[in-house]
């Protein structure tokens, strides 16, 4: 064989009578690696990554002390004026990183949930996970357990307990998308009420801190909040990518997936835990930034032209939405900094309405 | 290949001829194993505590088409689900080639036994070729997702089901008959020696029902796949199956060749329906003529 790296037949994939419009095969002889590449999805992901990088750096230039774009990028790698480096690395970088990582986590988590339940409305911020994390964190603030790791641990605990509650209540010989959504909405309201009660009960400063966190806020993030989030993503993102292949069969329904050799219940539990972990750490760091987990996967899916929310592109879209939303929030009204959750909420509500109208028309919810 | 009323002459770019005929090409049969041995013994199946099937024994004839018939809620779909391990038996076991289904790893089982549930739903926008490719998942790994064998199997499945021209179309935009053929193509690409089909003709008009059943016959005859399907229509069961299993209240009332099983007595017992049996003039298999209460004309009947 003249070239052992590529199988000689691989160009034949391009001449196939069908399917070539959407994907191309790649195939190596040694190691025996093969798969399909979807040019539109790859192109979209590259564009989203570039866009995210630009908005990320743009965010670093914005603030009381104006810094040029190139200076900001150079300060990222530690070169330039020491004052600039200090401002960028100590004050602005943590905020941008929390936005980036939380956005990725929201997007990927939403994609996992939406594919698992086969329903775009079953995103973590619709079925109570975000609200559950919120209740736990506010309880922590009001009852006096504040602080970086404490908040994260509480958020994780709240989301996990809520997820298990929803799953258990929705379980009747398996779970369906609709049942998870209906139970989830109920649980979300219970959590919201509990949060409201805690806020009303708390002292003035505690209530203010809780409310500031509850709208989803990147203001004043520190390295202490970046660390746990980055660590969580380092574990959970590879898990999400590995689960992606199994999601493809799960998307065809439990019976078909079982027939195709997927062990449905363990896979679903793994997806649930991964998704909950992502949403919990992101919510604990950035607060419940509204609608990102719901909208980002749907936007990515429409842009990529796929029949499922693509994992990587969903994460990048989430990051772009959170960072872009934060940028708008900081620059929209001169002199005041709106919380990012307000912006994503205003932008996300129409997306939700559009999804609801579409789901009703197609009758394809469950 | 069955005559297909839908896709004949529908080649927008005139490239129909590039589709390889299923019979040509390398002799690499997707079902290379000789006759699979699928049997159930002492099967007791229940949903929660409600027993649907009790004490059932069945040996599926290898290399043949078996049709399970019976009234609604007689347990025929339940039995099929148990044969596919979608339902764990309360008692007894299903064995494939001498091994209990419960003891076979999921992936290995999926390489030998395929199931198409009743009216599966594809995600919105999923193309036919993407769906058929998912049928390959028991043969794929995380790093090997589109091997030469996968590609060949998908092409063959598309060609065998006459779906090559529609490969890039979203499944949800197809007609009912085309959609069912796309799902069958997925099961074909899975390349299992045993294929279980739960009411593959549901919601299809008559022409498409015949189309799908002809396709099933193709798969059985050309690729020697053992087929077990649940069917509602007795006449179609008689015509398309080699072996008919008639069920009532969770047990098998009669099984054997269509001519042995489909008699006026059995139909009356199983469906609680009086009928006459005549012969299908096309296939020379039993043809069930139901009596009903209104349309009998005793005066015109010739004396037996």
DSSP per residue, A108-131: HHHHHHHHHHT-TT--TTTTTHHH
Report the sign of the C-alpha dihedral through residues A71, A73, A75, A79, in that order: negative
Helix A177-201 vs helix A204-214: angle between axes, to the nearest 10 degrees?
A: 150
Q: State which residue of chain B sits closest to A363, comparing Cα positions.
A: B124
How long, in residues, is chain A? 366
Please check whether residue B174 is in contact with residue B13, taking contact to mean a CB–CB distance below 8 angstroms.
no
Cis peptide leading into residue A31 (ω within 30°): yes
Q: What is the mean pLDDT of residues B88-95?
A: 94
What H or E segment, with its residue span, contains residue B203? none
- Which residues of B are less than 8 Å from A17 in CB distance? 15, 18-19, 164, 167
Calculate how close chain A gets to B97, using CA atoms only, in Å: 18
Q: What is the mean pLDDT of residues A41-54?
A: 95
Q: Find, among A247, A363, A284, A346, the residue nearest to A124 by Cα.
A: A284
CB pair distance less than 8 Å for B145 and A22: no
B130 touches chain A (CB under 8 A): yes
- Which residues of B are less than 8 Å from A6 in CB distance? none
The CATH number covering residue A252 comes to 1.10.3470.10
- Which residues of B are less than 8 Å from A306 in CB distance? 125
CB pair distance less than 8 Å for B137 and A32: no
| A57 pLDDT higher than 50 | yes
Domain membership of residue A23 (yes or no) is no
| B1 pLDDT higher than 60 | no
Q: Using CB atoms, which residue from A255, A260, A364 is nearest to B138? A: A260
Q: Give φ, ψ of B199 to 5 degrees.
A: 45, 65
pLDDT tens digits along A214-246? 888 888 788 888 988 999 999 999 999 999 888
- pLDDT attached to residue A332: 84
- Which residues of B are less than 8 Å from A242 in CB distance? 142
CA-CA distance, A214 to A296, in Å (whole number)?
20
CB pair distance less than 8 Å for B138 and A261: yes
Calculate how close chain A gets to B299, using CA atoms only, in Å: 52
3-state secondary structure at position B290? strand
Domain membership of residue A28 (yes or no) is no
Give the distance from CA A130 to its chain's centroid: 12
CB pair distance less than 8 Å for A253 and B129: no
Give residues with Cβ within 8 angstroms of A298, minimum separation 6: A114, A120, A309, A351, A355
B50 touches chain A (CB under 8 A): no
CB pair distance less than 8 Å for B115 and A36: no
Q: What is the mean pLDDT of residues A191-196?
A: 92
Q: State which residue of chain B sits closest to A305, comparing Cα positions.
A: B125
Domain membership of residue A331 (yes or no) is yes
Q: Using CB atoms, which residue from A245, A260, A306 is nearest to B190? A: A260
CB pair distance less than 8 Å for B134 and A17: no
CB pair distance less than 8 Å for B130 and A16: no
Residue B90's CB is within 10 A of a number of other CB atoms, namely 14
Residue predicted with more confidence, A235 or A82:
A235
B51 touches chain A (CB under 8 A): no
Q: What is the mean pLDDT of residues A118-146?
A: 84
Where are the alpha helices (H) located in B106-205, listed in sequence order?
Answer: 106-110, 128-134, 148-160, 176-189
Q: What is the pTM of this model?
A: 0.83
Per DSSP, B164 falls in state: G
pLDDT tens digits along B143-180? 888 888 899 999 999 998 889 999 999 999 999 889 99
Per DSSP, B115 falls in state: E
* pLDDT level of residue A177 (50, 70, 90 thresholds): low
CA-CA distance, A155 to A213, in Å (whole number)?
12
Domain membership of residue A158 (yes or no) is yes
Q: What is the mean pLDDT of residues A120-124?
A: 83
Domain membership of residue A38 (yes or no) is no
Q: What is the dihedral of CA A174, A178, A180, A184, to 10 degrees?
A: -160
Q: What is the mean pLDDT of residues B100-120?
A: 94
**Which residues of A lie closer than 8 Å to B, measured between beta carbons?**
7, 9, 13, 16-19, 21-22, 25-27, 31-36, 118, 173, 242, 245, 248-249, 251-253, 255-256, 258-263, 305-308, 362, 364
Residue ranges and CATH numbers for the domains of chain B are 16-273 (3.40.50.300)
Domain membership of residue A254 (yes or no) is yes
CB pair distance less than 8 Å for B168 and A19: yes
Q: Using CB atoms, which residue from B111, B123, B134 is nearest to A118? A: B123
Its domain, for residue A224, covers 45-362
Tokens of A26: 């790649």
B135 touches chain A (CB under 8 A): yes
| A4 pLDDT higher than 80 | no
B211 touches chain A (CB under 8 A): no
* pLDDT level of residue A15 (50, 70, 90 thresholds): very low
Calculate how close chain B gets to A19, using CA atoms only, in Å: 5
Of A93-107, A144-158, B58-72, give the lowest mean pLDDT range.
Answer: A144-158
Q: Is the ipTM of this complex over 0.85?
A: no
CB pair distance less than 8 Å for A261 and B137: yes
Q: How far is CA B133 from CA B96, B150, B187, B214, in A?
A: 25, 8, 10, 23
* pLDDT level of residue B2 (50, 70, 90 thresholds): very low
Domain membership of residue A208 (yes or no) is yes
> Number of residue pairs across A and B with CB atoms under 8 Å?
128
Q: What is the mean pLDDT of residues A27-40?
A: 79
| B141 pLDDT higher than 80 | yes
CA-CA distance, A72 to A69, in Å (whole number)?
5
- Which residues of A are less than 8 Å from B121 in CB distance? 253, 364
The order of strands in the sheet holding B113-116 is: B113-116, B194-198, B226-230, B65-70, B243-248, B251-256
Domain membership of residue A5 (yes or no) is no
Residue predicted with more confidence, A23 or A299:
A299
Q: State which residue of chain A sits closest to B126, comparing Cα positions.
A: A307
CB pair distance less than 8 Å for A242 and B142: yes
Please check whether residue A322 is in contact with residue A341, taking contact to mean a CB–CB distance below 8 angstroms.
no
| A19 pLDDT higher than 70 | no
**What share of chain A in percent tops pLDDT 70?**
89
Please check whether residue A339 is in contact with residue A136, taking contact to mean a CB–CB distance below 8 angstroms.
no
Which of B149, B167, B185, B189 should we substitute to test contact with A (largest number of A Cβ atoms within 10 Å)?
B167
Structural domains in chain A (count): 1
CB pair distance less than 8 Å for B146 and A27: yes
């Amino acid at each position: 064989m003249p070239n052992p790296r590529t199988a000689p037949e691989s160009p034949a994939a391009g001449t196939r009578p069908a399917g070539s419009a959407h994907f191309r095969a790649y195939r190596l002889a040694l190691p025996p690696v093969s798969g399909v590449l979807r040019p539109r999805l790859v192109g979209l992901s590259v564009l989203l990554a570039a866009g995210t990088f630009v908005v990320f750096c743009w965010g670093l230039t914005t603030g009381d002390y104006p810094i040029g774009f190139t200076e900001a990028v150079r300060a990222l790698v530690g070169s330039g004026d020491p004052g600039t480096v200090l401002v960028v690395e100590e004050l602005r970088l943590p905020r941008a990183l929390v936005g980036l990582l939380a956005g990725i986590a929201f997007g990927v988590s939403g994609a996992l949930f939406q594919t698992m339940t086969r329903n775009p409305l079953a995103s973590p911020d619709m079925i109570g996970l975000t609200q559950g994390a919120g209740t736990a964190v506010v309880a922590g603030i009001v009852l006096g357990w504040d602080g970086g790791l404490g908040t994260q641990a509480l958020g994780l605990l709240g989301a996990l307990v809520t997820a298990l509650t929803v799953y258990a209540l929705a379980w009747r010989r398996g779970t369906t998308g609709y049942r998870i959504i209906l139970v989830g909405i109920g649980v979300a309201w219970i959590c919201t009420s509990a949060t409201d009660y805690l806020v009303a009960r708390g002292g003035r400063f505690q209530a203010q801190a809780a409310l500031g966190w509850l709208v989803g806020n990147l203001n004043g993030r520190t390295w202490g909040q970046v660390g746990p989030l980055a660590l969580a993503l380092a574990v959970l993102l590879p898990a999400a990518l590995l689960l992606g292949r199994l999601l493809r069969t799960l998307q065809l329904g439990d019976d078909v997936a079982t027939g195709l050799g997927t062990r449905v219940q363990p896979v679903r539990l793994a997806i649930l835990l991964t998704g909950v972990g992502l949403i919990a750490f992101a919510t604990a760091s950035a607060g419940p930034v509204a609608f990102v987990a719901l909208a980002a996967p749907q936007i990515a899916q429409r842009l990529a032209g796929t029949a499922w929310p693509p994992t990587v592109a969903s994460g990048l879209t989430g990051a772009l939405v959170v960072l872009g939303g934060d940028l708008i929030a900081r620059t929209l009204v001169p002199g005041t900094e709106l919380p990012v959750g307000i912006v994503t909420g205003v932008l996300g509500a129409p997306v939700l309405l559009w999804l609801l109208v579409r789901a009703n028309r197609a009758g394809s919810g469950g | 290949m069955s005559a297909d009323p839908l896709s004949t002459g529908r080649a927008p770019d005139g490239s129909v001829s590039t589709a390889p005929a299923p019979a040509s090409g390398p002799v690499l049969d997707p079902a290379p194993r000789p006759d699979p041995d699928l049997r159930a013994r002492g099967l007791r199946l229940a949903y929660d505590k409600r027993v649907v099937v009790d004490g059932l024994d069945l040996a599926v004839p290898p290399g043949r088409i078996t049709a399970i018939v019976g009234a609604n809620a007689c347990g025929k779909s339940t039995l099929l689900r148990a044969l596919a391990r979608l339902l764990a038996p309360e008692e007894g076991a299903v064995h494939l080639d001498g091994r209990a289904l419960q003891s076979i790893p999921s992936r290995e089982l999926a390489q030998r036994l395929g199931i198409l549930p009743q009216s599966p739903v594809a995600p919105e926008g999923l193309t036919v070729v993407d769906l058929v490719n998912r049928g390959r998942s028991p043969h794929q790994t995380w790093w090997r997702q589109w091997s030469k064998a996968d590609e060949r199997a998908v092409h063959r499945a598309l060609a065998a089901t006459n779906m090559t021209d529609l490969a890039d179309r979203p499944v949800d935009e197809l007609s009912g008959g085309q959609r069912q053929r796309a799902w069958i193509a997925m099961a074909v690409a899975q390349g299992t020696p045993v294929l279980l089909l739960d009411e593959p003709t549901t919601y299809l008009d008559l022409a498409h029902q015949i189309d799908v059943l002809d396709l099933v016959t193709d798969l059985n005859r050309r690729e020697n796949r053992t087929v077990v399907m649940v069917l509602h229509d007795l006449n179609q069961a008689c015509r398309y199956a080699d072996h008919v299993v008639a069920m009532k209240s969770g047990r098998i009332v009669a099984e054997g060749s269509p001519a042995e099983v489909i008699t006026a007595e059995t139909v009356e017992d199983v469906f609680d329906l009086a009928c006459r049996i005549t012969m299908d003039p096309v296939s020379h298999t039993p043809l069930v003529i139901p009596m009903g209460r209104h349309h009998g004309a005793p005066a015109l009947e010739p004396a037996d």
